[in-house]
Amino acid sequence: MLNLQDSALFRTENYIDGQWVSGGIGHVLVHNPANGEVIAKVTDGDADDATIAVEAAARAFKTWSRMPAQQRATLIRLWYDLIMANADDLGALMTAEQGKPLAEAIGEIEYGASFIEYYAEECKRVKGATIPTIANDRRLQTYKQAVGVVGCITPWNFPSAMIARKAGPAIAAGCTVVIKPDPNTPLSALALCELADRAGIPAGVLNVVVGSDSAAIGKVLTQHPDIAKFSFTGSTAVGRVLMAQCATTVKKISLELGGNAPYIVFDDADIAEAITHCVATKFRNCGQTCVCSNRIYVQSSIAEEFITGLGEAIAALKVADGFADGATLGPLINSKAVEKMDELMADAVEKGAKVLMGGKRHELGQCFYEPTLLTNISPDMRLANEEIFGPIAAVQTFETEEEVVARANDTEFGLAAYFFTRDVGRVMRVSENLEYGIVCSNSGVFSTAVAPFGGWKQSGIGSEGGQEGIADFYATKFHSMGGIDR
């Protein structure tokens, strides 16, 4: 049992219609990836549980959607306050089930909560419009109305923030939600439900179904007639399948899918700053984010200096259990993720990559992998084309701006891109020419509740964050009123 200040946040049953209920097919074992220990035995829900949750959400929608925005905002703001008050415990739960260092986990709690706070305020500002009439006996108006029940599937790499980014704007808009968290990391999702219940958010508004049969539950959330919108964060391959399933009932969808982020360093960049941000973007969450630096491009004239500095910064990382003092790099999520690192390394080395540091499993064992630095990368290597999702930094060189922009765009993905330069003209040109939904110049930090997060091409559809993040939870209704006497 984890040493929590509030042990009631440790929930192991599904949360459906305001009740804690057992699942239909037994239990899921939740492991600490740092040591392999079983930390929880959580209810394993099935398609029937998901259906019951959707039906509960549909009933709750009838009253929740009609509640004045100010009242919804008050309840959601209280949920935010409770999350922040319990950030330490929520972070500990996340570190135990996901592995990221405790400070990083608490940072995620605060980041996710910021979306709940933002949309509690933003829902009071969503307005329809009065349209200039086309005839004296008519009046034209538009309304914004909550779209309905929202089905969500969230990933293990950000088990709290991804729920907050979806559920926050959804319930603020007046929708109700059914969430399937990843079975590797269900404790964070269930703890958020406990706090939502304490905040007074009515039964059926927020529902969580944990389940190992992802395909069956996914079909309910994508094809049930009472689901009006579906939101998914995960791989592009799975996103394509879910998108096709949503097409059978023509649902609104939001997809935040895979990335293959370029990280470009031009010869006029602040090299020290570029190195600092490169380490942060590459090794955050042990490289397990969709916006991690994936393809690192450095202009050849500064490559030696950059690689030397990057190696020194990587060497300073502390690989440890996420609860250890000073830990900066935790374990990968499971053994399958470690096996992928081995496969990528074997392929790269076979094709001529030079290993400057790391390149193998860490002596800590379990799911730990050494932070790795590679050079001499060729385009035929898997890690030059695939999303790495681990602590491997692979540096390539380039000669010209035109060349590197073309190489950066040569991918089916288009989520996030980074570049460093002190040339203002280049800042404008490169930001406009990169084919990505998010472009970050001279910084590796960009995600915020007040701005949209979403990709181009096969990295997704729609955005989370900002005004765009709540807009898709509304349907626009046009009202044409006739018979108006002057």
Catalytic residues: 256, 290
By DSSP bridging, strand 261-265 and strand 293-299 are parallel
Residue 156 three-state SS: coil
The structure tokens 């949309």 sit at 119
By DSSP bridging, strand 293-299 and strand 392-398 are parallel
What DSSP string describes 423-469? -HHHHHHHHHHS--SEEEES-S----TTS-B--EETTEES-BSHHHH
Q: How far apart are the first and last CA of the chain?
A: 72
- DSSP helix, strand, coil percent of the chain (3-state; round to 5): 40, 20, 35
195 residue type, one letter: L
CB atoms within 10 A of CB 336: 9
Contact 14, 212 (CB under 8 A): no
Q: What values do phi and psi take at 318, rounded to 5? A: -105, 110
Residue closest to 389 by CA, chosen among 466, 314, 337, 326: 337
Residue closest to 477 by CA, chosen among 142, 34, 175, 192: 142
By DSSP bridging, strand 14-16 and strand 19-21 are antiparallel
Contact 337, 390 (CB under 8 A): yes
Residue closest to 310 by CA, chosen among 280, 284, 286, 288: 280
Distance CA 40, CA 37 (A): 9
